Amino acid sequence: MPTIVTAGAAAALFSLGLVVIAAAAQVDAHHRARVAADLAAVAGAFAVYRGEDGCAVAAEVAGRNGASISGCAVRGADLSVAAHVRGREVTATAGPV
């Protein structure tokens, strides 16, 4: 009987560990998407300021940070970018102050 209880407790702890690891992976993906979106938006806005294609620069910067761009829009001097990392999407906007 104690062996069955021990096996059940071990299975429960193992399952809990898997849930924690999955949650940590989602948090990590969200943070990576946030950083990539912020950096891409700032780089893209600076490119727009210099008269260059801001969305192309934003896509390159996001790619170097392990993200893909799922949306990019220039509105005046502001640039909005949506970055996608492992199922998590984050939007960032940057422009002159």
What span, in angstroms and rounded, lies between the C-alpha atoms of 5 and 82?
A: 49
Q: Tell me how many domains the chain contains.
A: 1
pLDDT reported for residue 22: 87
Coil, helix or strand at residue 78? strand
The parent domain of residue 36 ranges over 2-94
Task: Give the CATH number, domain containing residue 50.
Answer: 3.30.1300
State how beta strands 68-75 and 88-94 pair.
unpaired
pLDDT band at 97 (very low <50, low <70, confident <90, very high): low
pTM of the model: 0.79
- Res 1 pLDDT > 80: no
Give the tens place of pLDDT for each residue, 34-86.
Answer: 999 999 999 999 999 999 999 999 999 999 999 999 999 999 889 999 999 99
pLDDT tens digits for range 2-19 = 788 888 888 889 999 999
